[in-house]
Structure 1
Amino acid sequence: MPRMIHTLTSLTVLALAAGCAAAPDVDEASVAGAASRRASPAPGSPFWVDPDSPAVRQAEAWQREGRTEDARALRRIADRPAALWPAGETDPAPRVREATAAAAAAGRTAVFVAYDIPHRDCGQHSAGGAADADAYRAWTDRFAEALGASRAVVVLEPDAVAHIVDGCTPAEYHAERERLLGEAIRRFKRQPNTKVYLDAGNPSWIKEPLRLVEPLRRAGVDDADGFALNVSNFQTDAVTREYGLTLSRALGGTHFVVDSSRNGNGPLPGVWCNPPGRALGTPPTTDTGEPHLDAYLWVKRPGESDGTCDGGPSAGSWWPEYALALARNSGS
């Protein structure tokens, strides 16, 4: 899913391999202790960790294969909460019910992404979405109903508003899209313990945040709990926080959340799709130090591909080598 107008550069296999280079020999007990500390949930994190995520299964497989250093590194992803993206074009309810039941049993909050808007991603890497408006309404209704009374966070439709602003989504779809987003917000908010954050792109994409104000309002942000920034992108916490505060002020103090899943080393200029050398960012937490910033979340699941670029599999597919590079580059 694109996060800015860009020109892809050719990334070499060597660059990615360098990020996956083996760690130097160190005392095993020290490594185990450090890995355990890194994998522990951040203070203030109320979010649910999926015990059957691709990262968990990969770490367990590598442990069985004797790749103990790689398995330990990957626990930095496996042991931390990341959002679930129930598949579009199918019934999201079974996966949503399963996750909310598990989260409730653990006394935690599940985080989801609703990503099925018609004409999704302008036909690019994450193309697809519901066939029409009625199909989208039915999909969001099933999704919301499955949340029940469980505590949940829903990040609503990455790209959808920003693609209106940048013109990628054709103008004839704008009014319908804004109407569908507003309806989806109100439907999700009928669930008593669900928070909804409408996606608003990232600082590198729509460089002037005030351009987002009216489209967000037309799309119902005033009925949501706030907006989301940096989904699937790499902008730093500091840059994204300041951008978010500017947008928040323009919206009358609206709150927001930030995707910090892969921004530990910031962006690679000119490349948004599977850039090498990136690192995990701030672990999910509600302890942000900023009253209008509700949480740092891992919305993009670290290790899942951005698309078929620079050696990656299809968008959303698990890519263990990239996951390992993120984990090793994180350094904490």
Structure 2
Amino acid sequence: MTSPRFRRALAAAGAASALAAASLIAISPAHADDSGLPGSELYANPFSTTLEAAQSLSGQARADAQLLGSIPSAEWFTKGTPAEVEAAARLYVDHATAAGEQPVLVAYNLPFRDCAQYSAGGAKDTAAYEAWIDGLAAGIGGRPATVILEPDGLGIIPWNTDINGGAEWCKPAELDPATAASDRYAQLNHAVDALGALGATSVYLDGTHSGWLGVGDISDRLIKAGVERTAGFFLNASNYVETERLVKYGTWISDCINLSEKSWWEPGWCASQYYPANPGDFSTWGLSDAAYDKAYADTGVVRDAAAQAHFVLDTSRNGTGPWAGPAAPYTPGGDPEVWCNPPGRGVGAQPTTETGIALVDAYLWIKVPGESDGKCYRGTSGPLDPERGVEDPAAGQWFPAQARELISLSQPALAPLACEVHVVGTKVAKGFIAAITVRNNGATTLSPWTVSWSFGGAQQITKVVGGSYAQSGADVTVTAPRVASTLRSGKTTAFVVTGKGAADEPWLFRLNGAACTSR
């Protein structure tokens, strides 16, 4: 079989999905009494950009991409016309809904996103953005979904003045200084309302991270962006801050918003990681905890975890924490860009909606681990990354060396995939025939064994020798025959599949639900 090209995003415009809808737990904002994200099973896209990257790799690099691709990561929607993003979102949510799992979508198309830096792009203006968001919302429809709304959208605001009256650095000449910041809030409020109106979609706004904005500043921005009409906010997108710091920071933001919404309290009065705590000494952060206890006592407001803003954390690359940077700048006064493909980082906690923390709805992999942050010059003229000695891939492109680092330094450790699939296939007439060999590399005997996958197109199985099969839409499961139902550790089994349609090899196989590498 040959590798398929994913029928994704822009290529899917106007296509209708053949997948049947399955019911999921409905999602409601955390400001209400109930949130649907905790307890949900997160969706691992079998047609993800990570598994797409694996198709052009071999050896360890291929195995690394397949391992990371087997774990749920968010799907980024970054461009296209309203009709195109509607079709792309519908196709993605169709697949997740059919699997009975929770899709996580990242909306990343604000005008002047990232202030035209490494991840430059976005809609032309407010009207174009609002139409694009409406298309995204139409694609999601009434199905449960989680939307990470605009990473950096509140951290980097064009022509913004911070809560202390300081002018910020992002000043695009193309935008009107008098209206650019208010336009950003109008754009985000429209998105909050359009997505919130769907009824089963949890929306999270940008809460930056504890190495960036102070609690009062980001709380003020979240309130202006409509956080009270969402599930809450997200932290650490595409960054590296340790989980324990993020939990403190997020809790303070939730408290700051709660105090400001329920009393005479002002966000500018909120304690933070900068005061009375010392940002560089985590042992002092209890001082800010005490400041919030006093603020609650002074205002008479009561903490209510069920009703306060909740948050989610990006743990995709924070296993070893942030990079301190080089001992000395590469050029005098140069920016070491500690956020850009830093060396020696590892993935953190795997995605889950069971965090054990009332205000934390999930640990998510928002940034796709293994995809580059951009061409990092670190204050030099480039094109090489002076820290790595190579030219880094463009933002969003696969970076095999970084993927290897993230896996080898993961905390907690990522185990290799415990099964291996080898496919030998060929096209015949209007279909295909393929011999599939599966090796159980795990420690457990499987009885019976099952092998499952999703096709990338309209392929239909007509016969399986060496097992029975069931197919629903693109999803196929082959079950062991009674006479050979046991697959011991270290042993292999094989079966032959005949079908109609393109001879495209699926990107991900699973043995009894556990992902496999494939050669």
Give the TM-score normalised by structure 1: 0.81
Q: Which residue of 2 aligns with 1:261?
A: 316
Counterpart CA distance in 1 for 2:128 and 2:53 is: 35
Distance 1:100 1:89, change over 3 A: closer
Q: Residue by residue, what CA displacement relative to the aligned partner does 1:74-132 show, whole Å, maximum 9, x if unpaired?
A: 44311111111113244312221111010011000110111111121111111121101
Q: Which has the larger radius of gyration?
A: 2
* Aligned partner (choices 56, 75, 86) of residue 51 of structure 2: 56
Structure 1 position 193 matched with structure 2 position 200: yes
Q: Which residue of 1 aligns with 2:363?
A: 296
Superposition map of 1:56-95 within 5 A: 56-59=51-54, 62=57, 65=58, 67=59, 69-90=60-81, 91-95=84-88
Q: Residue by residue, what CA displacement relative to the aligned partner does 1:132-166 show, whole Å, maximum 9, x if unpaired?
A: 11000000000011001221110111111111347
Measure how far apart 1:264 and its partner are. 0.7
Measure how far apart 1:71 and its partner are. 4.3
AA of the residue aligned to 1:261: S
Counterpart CA distance in 2 for 1:144 and 1:317 is: 27
Q: Which residue of 1 aligns with 2:373?
A: 306
AA of the residue aligned to 1:255: H
* Aligned partner (choices 239, 260, 267) of residue 233 of structure 1: 239
Counterpart CA distance in 2 for 1:216 and 1:114 is: 17
Counterpart CA distance in 2 for 1:70 and 1:184 is: 38
Superposition map of 1:1-332 within 5 A: 46-59=41-54, 62=57, 65=58, 67=59, 69-90=60-81, 91-164=84-157, 165=162, 167-170=168-171, 171-172=177-178, 173-206=180-213, 208-252=214-258, 253-270=308-325, 271-309=338-376, 310=385, 311-330=391-410, 331-332=413-414
Contact 2:40 2:101 in 1 (8 A): no
Structure with the larger strand share: 2
Contact 1:210 1:247 in 2 (8 A): yes
Counterpart CA distance in 2 for 1:320 and 1:45 is: 31
Q: Provide the secondary structure at the position in 2 that maps to 1:264.
A: coil
Counterpart CA distance in 1 for 2:194 and 2:212 is: 28
Counterpart CA distance in 2 for 1:45 and 1:179 is: 31
Counterpart CA distance in 1 for 2:40 and 2:369 is: 18
Counterpart CA distance in 2 for 1:274 and 1:45 is: 31
Structure with the larger helix share: 1
List 4+ stretches of structure 1 deviating above 6 A: none
Counterpart CA distance in 1 for 2:210 and 2:111 is: 25
- Higher RCO (CA 8 Å, separation ≥ 6 residues): 1
Counterpart CA distance in 2 for 1:216 and 1:192 is: 21
Contact 1:156 1:199 in 2 (8 A): yes
Counterpart CA distance in 2 for 1:89 and 1:74 is: 26
In structure 2, runs of 5+ residues without a counterpart are: 1-37, 172-176, 259-307, 326-337, 377-384, 386-390, 415-519
Contact 2:77 2:109 in 1 (8 A): no
Counterpart CA distance in 2 for 1:88 and 1:54 is: 15
Q: Provide the secondary structure at the position in 2 that maps to 1:251.
A: helix
Q: Which residue of 1 aligns with 2:293?
A: none
Q: Residue by residue, what CA displacement relative to the aligned partner does 1:162-210 show, whole Å, maximum 9, x if unpaired?
A: 113472344531111011101100100111211000011111111x211
Contact 1:283 1:296 in 2 (8 A): yes
Q: Residue by residue, what CA displacement relative to the aligned partner does 1:237-265 show, whole Å, maximum 9, x if unpaired?
A: 11111110111111113111111101111
Corresponding residue pairs, total: 285
Q: Provide the secondary structure at the position in 2 that maps to 1:112.
A: strand
Q: Residue by residue, what CA displacement relative to the aligned partner does 1:267-309 show, whole Å, maximum 9, x if unpaired?
A: 1024100111111111111111110111010000111111111
Counterpart CA distance in 1 for 2:115 and 2:54 is: 35
Give the TM-score normalised by structure 2: 0.53
Q: Provide the secondary structure at the position in 2 that maps to 1:321.
A: helix
Distance 1:314 1:277, change over 3 A: same
Counterpart CA distance in 2 for 1:85 and 1:54 is: 10
Counterpart CA distance in 2 for 1:274 and 1:212 is: 25
Distance 1:195 1:71, change over 3 A: same
